[in-house]
Amino acid sequence: MIEITLLGTGSPIPDPNRAGPSTLVRAGGQVFLVDCGRGVLQRAAAVGVGASGLSALLLTHLHSDHIAELGDLLITRWITTFTPDPAPLPIIGPPGTAETVDAMLKAFSHDIGYRLAHHDDLNAPPAIEVHEYTEGQVWDRDGVSIRVAPTDHRPVAPTIGFRIESGGASAVLAGDTVPCASLDELAAGAGALVHTVIRKDIVANIPQQRLQDICDYHSSVEQAAATAARAGADILVMTHYVPALVPGQEEQWRTLAASEFGGRIELGDDLHRVEVQP
């Protein structure tokens, strides 16, 4: 069984009730954080997961809303891991990830210096290992495997989606993308597809070009649902709602998705949890 928890279902616009884009995936005793939007550590704490308990951080792309809490995650994991010589945190992302992580550590270099000087048992900066991929198998440990494939979020490039498999169950994390053949292939036969959704019927009518621009490189609810249908996925999990999902309007979103996808549709607030069976 794979357990998916929507830690953050928001977008770049701050929302009092929604953290930034982040999804927690628990599989085979391992804990993966997919993207780390604002507020993710608080949401993870609500389900008993701390930064020190992560098996790996997986990044779909380097848009600010998906990495807003990266710096805090690196520092918090470092100062809340009490074992000597802790294993490095694996961070798997597209090319550009290493540069971003390095820059984040540089931004916190004064903090890192203060703590190294103050705490006798901290004698090295945060231990991190970055792996950059655009496709292929990226993880194979203790019964959990992860594969990545390119997505299409152009002009943001490269961007990747993840497929996590454990004990016959599978979950695909698409991130922000328009429909594309490589995502269809990655998601083929998946137990669950977690996908960003944009209400283009609403956003396209906002008289502000910068907001209308976001329709270019995201999937609408119907497009995400059609991707799930082409893939033959069992469950579509919608997240990263733009505009924010308003309480009472869940059925509207569900109906739009159901127009293209006959399987189970999951949507909800932060901490919504979905179990994926083999």
Q: What are the residues binding Zn ion (CB under 5 A)? A: 63, 65, 176
Residues 176, 128: Cα–Cα separation, whole Å: 25
Antiparallel, parallel or unpaired: β 56-58 and 89-93:
parallel
Shorter beta-carbon distance to Zn ion: residue 52 or 182: 182
What does the angle CA 22 – CA 24 – CA 27 come to, to the nearest 5 degrees? 155
Half-sphere exposure of 9 (CA within 13 A, CB side): 23
d(CA 203, CA 211): 7
What is the smallest separation between the CB atom of 74 and Zn ion, expressed in angstroms? Answer: 20
Q: Which is nearer to Zn ion, 169 or 199 (CB)?
A: 199
CA distance 202 to 35: 26
Neighbouring C-beta atoms of residue 25, cutoff 10 Å: 25
In sign, the C-alpha dihedral spanning 234, 239, 243, 249 is positive
Inter-CA distances, 210 with 22, 204, 207, 213, 254, Å: 24, 10, 9, 5, 27
Question: Token pair of 258, please?
Answer: 């159901």
Active site residue 142: no
Q: Minimum CB separation from Zn ion for residue 173, in Å? A: 12
Q: How far is the CB of 61 from Zn ion (least distance, A)?
A: 6
What is the 3-state composition of the chain as percent helix, strand, coil, each rounded to the nearest 5? 30, 30, 40
In the complex, least distance from residue 113 CB atom to Zn ion, rounded to whole angstroms: 33
Contact 206, 186 (CB under 8 A): no
DSSP class of 135? S
Q: Which is nearer to Zn ion, 55 or 60 (CB)?
A: 60
Of residues 55 and 151, the one with the C-beta less far from Zn ion? 151
**Minimum distance of Zn ion from residue 64's CB (angstroms):** 9
Closest to Zn ion by CB, 63 vs 77, is 63
Selected catalytic residue, list 15, 35, 65, 270 = 65
Query: Where in the sequence numbering do the catalytic residues fall?
Result: 65
